[in-house]
Amino acid sequence: MAITYEPIATTTLSTATASVTFSSISGAYTDLVLVAFAKFSNNPSYAGIIFNNDSGANYSSTFVRGNGSTASSGRNNDAGQISSASYSANFIVDIFNIQNYSNTTTYKTAIYRTSQDNDVFGRVGLWRNTAAINSIKYQIDSGNIQSGSTFTLYGIKAA
């Protein structure tokens, strides 16, 4: 079996910060995967990603959420980022699969999963831009991402 996941960069925070950015991303892969194991200083309203420093109203996402006893769904339109979740916890795991990121003829999509406490989220997001993605910023709206949080960006090669 061919090895298709290749670590591009890993960041483990030594100090608290509001965001983590991966820049100068090569176009040598077919897809990207961003994995975040993050601790927060408080319960932020949301965390999310932006591409190529574009924080304009060019993103949308749809989600389903469940916790074993209740389920919900929703949609964010014309947002300034692809939001991963509304948080009620101070520790989360986010996994973003970003498809066809270096193509310059289509909008970019991301499928991602979030888990926190007893909740799990499944989401799909869209960046309405045809530019190749060369940077990804993970950010929260309030407080800080705590030291010890780890972020890894993987490139996926065609098998």
Q: Specify the range with the lowest mean pLDDT, choosing from 62-71, 84-93, 133-142.
A: 84-93
> Max CA-CA distance within the chain?
43
Domain that holds residue 41: 5-156
Predicted pLDDT at 89: 59
How far, in Å, CA of 118 to CA of 156, rounded?
Answer: 30
CA dihedral angle for residue 95, residue 139, residue 126, residue 55, rounded to 10 degrees: -160
- The CATH number linked to 25 is 2.60.120
Average confidence score pLDDT of the chain = 88
What is the number of domains present in the chain?
1
pLDDT in tens, 105-123: 999 999 988 877 677 878 8
